[in-house]
Amino acid sequence: MSEARNVAFLGLGVMGGPMAGHLARNGHKVTVYNRTAAKAETFAARHPGARFAKTPREAAGGADIVFACVGNDDDLRAVTLSPEGAFAGMRPGAIFVDHTTASAEVARELFAAAKALGLGAVDAPVSGGQAGAENGALTIMCGAEPEIYAQAEPVMAAYARACRLMGPPGSGQLTKMVNQIAIAGLIQSLSEALHFAKTAGLDAAAVIDLIKNGAAQSWQMENRTKTMLAGEFDHGFAVEWMRKDLAICLAEARRSGAKLPIAALVDQFYAEVEAMGGKRWDTSSLIARLER
Amino acid sequence: MSEARNVAFLGLGVMGGPMAGHLARNGHKVTVYNRTAAKAETFAARHPGARFAKTPREAAGGADIVFACVGNDDDLRAVTLSPEGAFAGMRPGAIFVDHTTASAEVARELFAAAKALGLGAVDAPVSGGQAGAENGALTIMCGAEPEIYAQAEPVMAAYARACRLMGPPGSGQLTKMVNQIAIAGLIQSLSEALHFAKTAGLDAAAVIDLIKNGAAQSWQMENRTKTMLAGEFDHGFAVEWMRKDLAICLAEARRSGAKLPIAALVDQFYAEVEAMGGKRWDTSSLIARLER
């Protein structure tokens, strides 16, 4: 357990809420802010010593580290750069750690803004989902200056299974993008495989049970096949969130010149899933599109 | 070890050769046939008790089980149904076991032809590659009548890590297709992820080392990333073989009505890899196409 610090946490959603809880249980003095204030009040009531604030600026006052886990680039700019944003309240030398999955561009923009104010900044998107947040077993991918990272890392340990500095500011977001790109076509291929198996009259579960020992194996195959075959799509990351992430990937690829033909096509497939009413289904719902 | 049987093995390629060797070492009396006769002669010289034959028909005479592992549907018809094919030499009650990755159609055709002659038939494609064949650690996916499968299974145990009856004749081939469909888009996604990482200036190996603990994990990610990043494409199944398999998958899907958009597109990507001179590169060479 790290030395107790004064910390602020902005955004108490399905990820941020449990993460802030781990910080409080690890002995840090936590002040929370949430756009819907009731959540912040409830959090403070449930965690001894925790307080809530009415603005990010107020939450950030006196904090050594300010964490954020919000929806997207615009939400992130609002809680940091606006007049009532955190940056206006942070003391020089304090560090901003962003757990939002956002663009590498906004990560660099916030780093520059922080630097100008004498603040540190770490872009630190996570993977592991709601369960990972609740169990304190997230993978955290960081972009930062090494000396800033070194200060933030012991505090993030409260909810990390693995936490790694991947490079300069923006590198955390870029690493998270690599993860999402690898997953997109993988789930589509698994969907096609299961769909093909069912159409061929095979026992798809028995097929997976056999082939999962070989070169087709994946975490998705081991953990999502059963629910996919049952048509249950409420076991993880939602389609609309995945589309947000893929939009970030595709925009970054447009800048860097990287070619992502399958990621781009799977994004379009997810658009069709959304049109089927699947915005909130989990990412494995690509199979539902094949089975219309 | 199973009771010693008289067996024939047709096709001593990189897969069939080691498989026939395991049969000989397990005490079975093996007669081999190969289109290029020299390989069969060499095999017989190296394995005490083994013999070679000049035609499939001659090899099959007196065998309890005749195995084949040849190139494609046409090769398979040639070694079974032609006048000098195995079926003309097999005694009633003998069993034909086909380890070729072929169409479900030809599997059903050979089953019917075998049945009419009083023979049994098992379609039994394998996965695990050359290493799996050499180490006797193949996964074998079978389609057959249960009582026929029960006779063949103890003999196949000579080179099986897992051997499973998946359903009636053709089901082994269909199961292998599910495996290839699952792999096709997975490798493309992994290629896009690595390509994106490099283009973004990340240390791609470090990225994979971090994300392989989560939902993007796959056998391909764990076993092929290093060689893909090094541009080494000589570590497994060749592009031209994958295209043969994908052609079978796409033809079967055309019959069954299954939709395979990504498998179809990845097949086209492999056509581009072939045009780059990559017919014999391994399947992970999809990344080379992105990096042209």
Rounded-to-integer distance, Cα B9 and Cα A151, Å: 66
pLDDT(A1) > 60? no
pLDDT(A2) > 80? no
Interval A64-85: pLDDT, tens: 999 999 999 999 999 999 999 9
Is B226 an active-site residue?
no
Residue B32: which H helix or E strand, with range? strand B29-33
What is this structure's pTM? 0.95
Per-residue pLDDT, averaged over B199-211, amounts to 98
- What does the mean pLDDT of chain B come to? 97
- Kindly identify which residue of chain B lies nearest to residue A187, measuring between CA atoms: B186
Q: For residue A290, what pLDDT is reported?
A: 98
Interval B38-84: pLDDT, tens: 999 999 999 999 999 999 999 999 999 999 999 999 999 999 999 99
- In chain A, CATH 3.40.50.720 sits at 6-168
Contact B138, B126 (CB under 8 A): yes
Determine the distance in angstroms separating the CA of B122 from the nearest CA of chain A, rounded to an integer. Answer: 16
Per-residue pLDDT, averaged over A213-242, amounts to 95
Using 50, 70 and 90 to split pLDDT, how confident is the model at B1? low
CB distance B218–A213 less than 8 Å? no
Q: Smallest Cβ distance to B190: which of A174, A182, A219?
A: A182
Helix, strand, coil shares, percent, chain A, to 5 = 55, 15, 30
pLDDT(B156) > 90? yes
Interval B73-110: pLDDT, tens: 999 999 999 999 999 999 999 999 999 999 999 999 99
Strands (E), B124-269: 126-127, 138-143, 160-167
Q: What kind of fold does domain A6-168 have according to CATH?
A: Rossmann fold (3.40.50)
Q: Residue B242 is encoded by which pair of tokens? A: 């994958």
What positions of A carry a catalytic annotation?
176
B139 φ/ψ angles, rounded to the nearest 5 degrees? -95, 130
Select from 1.10.1040.10, 1.10.460.10, 1.10.760.10, 1.10.10.10 the CATH code of B175-290.
1.10.1040.10
Q: Smallest Cβ distance to B207: which of A178, A217, A219?
A: A178
- In chain B, CATH 1.10.1040.10 sits at 175-290
Which residues of chain B lie closer than 8 angstroms to A164, CB-CB?
206, 210
Rounded-to-integer distance, Cα A172 and Cα A252, Å: 13
pLDDT(A5) > 60? yes
Using 50, 70 and 90 to split pLDDT, how confident is the model at A235? confident
What ipTM does this complex have? 0.95
Q: For an interface test with B, give the residue of A135, A163, A177, A202 to mutate (most B CBs within 10 A).
A: A202
Which residues of chain A lie closer than 8 angstroms to B217, CB-CB?
218-219
Which residues of chain A lie closer than 8 angstroms to B182, CB-CB?
189-190, 192-193, 211, 216, 218, 221
CB distance A193–B201 less than 8 Å? no
Interval B225-273: pLDDT, tens: 999 999 999 988 999 999 999 999 999 999 999 999 999 999 999 999 9
